[in-house]
A = this chain, B = another copy of it.
């Protein structure tokens, strides 16, 4: 049984010196054994390991990373909202990729609050994270840079023009365009857009895809059919209610899965109340669990959130590695989307 568990022992965890004393060697030898690099006799190794096990010793990674040149093995990840399974997937991908270099993740949730985001960045920097993966929520670039200092940064899912950082995004403009074009081909004309405001770059790109598809079909964007107030499921539900009450709608384009999942129940309920109106199909960006159970016409612009997280983490570890100069040109990865007819 490790000493630490013995009753009455005062609460001080064993240090290299405790191990050294117990093994009758120097602290330095303990360090060498534990790191596996230096030349150590196999006999020394055995003695030290025995004491390590006996005392229940564990290296203090914080003290270790105090020495210059030592890595903390910690990476900060700031996402907006983990409730959204999309970001959970991103996190999963990040974890996946970082595990390869044996780094751990400190998570922060900005909840979409730029001030909170900035505070988290500063906090993480103080905790000596080696770098940061950020899903930005619209904080001022200058403030973000200040909080970052010299921390390597990778932006995931959303770009930020003002920030000089590696970025992974999906080609949602193109995906949106293809999706809307598909609706147009099926004969739908009055296609509504439901999304977040222009600040959110993803929403903006998806709106552009919408515009371009309409433009290519010679249709002007009708402002009455555009609602850019959808911040979550709640506001999306309100938006579709308002839309259905005031406009004639042929089809609905939902710019993200929060919007889709907010809109669908409302829309389905509305159609039940108006059984002789034609079905209003939904085009959504991002998949969601159980989408296959939806009985309403639904088409999805999907992509691999996990791969996005993985790519972001890989960009970061590259940047952290010895090979890439800190000043190497920034990279932007654009991942493709897939259009899928979920239900028709």
Contacts and interface: CB of A to CB of B under 8 A. Distances in A.
Interface of A: 2, 4-5, 11-13, 56, 58-63, 65-66, 68, 72-74, 82-83, 85, 88-89, 91-92, 95, 104-109, 122-128, 145-146, 149-150, 261, 264-265, 268, 288-296
B289 A294 contact: no
Contact of A290 (B13, B89, B145, B288): B288
B123 A104 contact: yes
B2 A149 contact: yes
B82 A128 contact: no
Nearest to A56: B149
A295 B295 contact: yes
A95 B72 contact: no
23 contacts: A4-B149, A4-B150, A5-B145, A12-B68, A13-B149, A60-B126, A61-B128, A62-B65, A63-B66, A66-B66, A83-B88, A85-B88, A95-B107, A104-B123, A105-B108, A106-B106, A261-B289, A261-B290, A264-B290, A264-B293, A290-B291, A293-B293, A293-B296
Contacts of A296: 293
Given A4-B150, A5-B150, A128 B62 contact: yes
A25 to B, nearest CB: 21
A243 B290 CA distance: 21
A105 to B, nearest CB: 5
A82 B62 CA distance: 27
A337 to B, nearest CB: 20
Of all A-B residue pairs in the complex, the 10 with the closest CB atoms, nearest first, are A62-B62, A88-B88, A290-B290, A61-B126, A61-B127, A58-B126, A82-B88, A62-B128, A265-B292, A293-B294
- Number of this chain's copies in the assembly equals 2
Contacts of A73: 127
A4 B145 CA distance: 11
Given A62-B127, A126-B61, A293-B268, A150 B74 contact: no
Contacts of A105: 106-108
Nearest to A58: B126
Contacts of A123: 104
A223 to B, nearest CB: 30
A122 B58 contact: yes
Contacts of A91: 82, 107
Nearest to A257: B289
B89 A83 contact: yes
A250 to B, nearest CB: 21
B108 A106 contact: no
A289 B85 contact: yes
A149 B5 CA distance: 7
Given A58-B149, A88-B88, A261-B289, 11 more contacts: A5-B150, A58-B122, A60-B128, A74-B106, A74-B127, A83-B85, A83-B92, A91-B107, A95-B109, A104-B107, A293-B296
A20 B152 CA distance: 27
Contacts of A11: 150
